[in-house]
Chain A
Amino acid sequence: MRDPHPLSRAEEAALIAGCQNGEPAAQRICFDRFRDRVHAVALHFLRGDDAAAQDATQEVFVRFFRRASAFRSDARLSTYLYRATANVCIDELRRRRRFVLVGDIPETLHPRTSTVESLSDPRLVHAVQRLSPKLRLVVLLRYVDDLSYDEIAAAVGVSAGTVASRLSRAHAALATALGSRSPGAFDD
């Protein structure tokens, strides 16, 4: 999913300038380039809830375009976009309290597993979705779009060292989870 035709710095600066000017064409290019990656991060962060992930994707781009005038022209587009993605996902997690399941809900309609079974490695995806939010987010930013530690740090608002530490813990937790539980790295 990493962009096979990455923009040059000049092209990216022009795209940011277009978004800052509110140009629909620039906004559309930005949306088309990043929509699947933003959606993938939101989908797995929100534990497979595709309805919520689509809402979150929409919210990411609306926030991103509304605040574009505050961007520094020399910054990376992905930094701002993934920062918006992280904030929207965390906001959504804070807002949502629980699912009220009434009666005997079949697995296929269960809100938390509605999309896992259709993916390439359901067991691994399920393990990622069960990581704690802090570890889950860095894993998603790292592997959905191959962001560097510095890029992840800028998006999440922590140091690169903290990113490295969280990824290390996440890797260990995932490796263990494919066999047994790793205490402290998962939440329910």
Chain B
Amino acid sequence: MTEHSPLEPALRDALRSSTLPDPERQWHRIRGRLDARESAPTRPLRIAFAAAAIVAAVAIGAAAGVAGQFAAPATWPMAALQGSIGPRTLRAGDALVTDEVTTVQLDVGRIGTATIAPGSRVRRTAGRWSAHRLVLDRGTIDAVITAPPRLFFVQTPSALATDLGCAYRLTVTDDGASELYVSAGWVELEHEGERSIVPAGLAAEVRPGGRPGIPVVPSIDDTTRLALRRLDTGNGSDADLARVLTTLTSVVDPMARQQQSGITLWHLLQRVDGAQRAQVVRALTALAPPPADVTTEGIIALDRPMLDRWRRALNPMWGEASDTVWSTLTRRVWYWLND
């Protein structure tokens, strides 16, 4: 019954000549997804608690309006800011490719806009009712999102950028690295469980296969930038640390010193260890003392709640300035539903 075609040798040669690029990165992603699934709370329990919280929210009446406002519509309209494209829309599963001269503004549902630069390729993927998801394969997106956090996600070859209520520019370079600059609000960069949270005025990069870098002001000098990068990868010397601390603590503007240098140091102390960590903690304490319930010992031990409390004191995110029971509850429900 087996048929043989004269094309068989050519077909075998032609179809077998490719290999999977960067298999180690693919393996790490597979393991990350398998591990995340194993450690997540059981879905039925989350659904039960989420359902109870939804009933409470709907009773007040605001939830109905929120659902309508923030649900991801089937089509996202787009228009050319430069060049001409005619009426177009983007649906889940579509890929948008721009040439070297055309800039496209894409409505991200009803929650904001994403400006796609020339020479870019983005794909819209499906998600939950409220999740607005893009994949940026190459090029640049400028996003402005006017909605609660964790509704807009951009996946790049090296990281997942989660909007926390903001405006930002995200670029994927030819080698697959991601470069992020946040102009308003915050963005979380995540790769294989490692995170950086980037506030307004700071930038961060992610090299392919690496973890999200330490956020830092883009105007920092190259010598300090390279020293910081070496410290982030575990190759930093004491001289590198001294250079970084001197630069960051000598910022003149007190608000910038706390909200920007402070965040850089907050990330740095988690990326170094031993005597270097102690030095960073001392420098950060001198720059912006921690809240009363945060101890040096706890920070040295990387106690997560203490680290979060200090970060909020340095530079609070949207909604964090208010810690009423209601705001905390609604924030947690929102995060849980959209996790």
Interface residues of A (CB under 8 A from B): 1, 24, 27-28, 31-32, 35-36, 38-40, 43-44, 50-51, 54, 57-58, 61-62, 65-66, 95-106, 109-111, 115, 119-121, 124-125, 128, 139-140, 143-144, 146, 149, 160-161, 164, 167-168, 171, 174-175
Contacts and interface: CB of A to CB of B under 8 A. Distances in A.
B8 A143 contact: yes
Contacts of B26: 35, 54, 57-58
A103 B37 contact: no
B224 interface: no
6 contacts: A35-B20, A102-B85, A121-B13, A121-B14, A128-B15, A143-B8
B34 A66 contact: yes
A105 B97 contact: yes
Contact of B94 (A31, A100, A140): A100
Given A104-B99, A115-B18, A119-B17, 16 more contacts: A39-B20, A40-B15, A40-B18, A50-B21, A61-B30, A62-B30, A62-B33, A98-B95, A99-B95, A100-B97, A102-B80, A105-B99, A109-B97, A120-B13, A124-B14, A128-B15
B27 A28 contact: yes
B16, B31, B104, most chain A CB atoms within 10 A:
B16
B21 A54 contact: yes
Nearest to A40: B18
A175 B5 contact: yes
A39 B78 CA distance: 33
Lowest 4 A-B CB distances belong to which pairs? A103-B99, A1-B16, A39-B20, A171-B5
A150 to B, nearest CB: 10
A27 B29 CA distance: 13
Contact of B104 (A54, A65, A102, A124): A102
Contacts of A1: 16
Contacts of B119: 109
B288 interface: no
Given A39-B18, A143-B15, A100 B96 contact: yes
B313 to A, nearest CB: 39
Nearest to B19: A36
B325 interface: no
Contacts of B100: 103
Contacts of A24: 31
A169 B91 CA distance: 34
Interface string B76-95: 00101001010010111111
Contacts of A38: 20
A120 B16 CA distance: 9
B15 A144 contact: yes
Nearest to B37: A66
Contacts of B99: 102-106
B4 to A, nearest CB: 9
A101 B329 CA distance: 44
A62 to B, nearest CB: 5
B102 interface: yes
A31 B30 contact: yes
A96 B15 contact: no
Contacts of A66: 34, 37
Contacts of A105: 97, 99
Contacts of A167: 3
A31 B31 CA distance: 11
Contact of A168 (B3, B17, B96): B3
A167 to B, nearest CB: 6
A104 B97 CA distance: 10
Nearest to B126: A95
B137 A51 contact: yes
B234 interface: no
Contacts of B15: 40, 44, 125, 128, 139-140, 143-144
A124 B11 contact: yes
Contacts of A140: 15
A51 B157 CA distance: 9
Contact of A58 (B18, B30, B37, B98): B30
Contacts of A100: 78, 88, 90, 94-97
B11 A96 contact: no
Contacts of B101: 103
Contacts of A44: 15
A168 B23 CA distance: 34
Contact of B95 (A111, A160, A161, A164): A111
B23 to A, nearest CB: 6
Contacts of A115: 18
Contacts of A40: 15-16, 18
B2 interface: yes
A97 B34 contact: no
Contact of B17 (A27, A104, A120): A120
A174 B95 CA distance: 28
A144 B3 contact: no
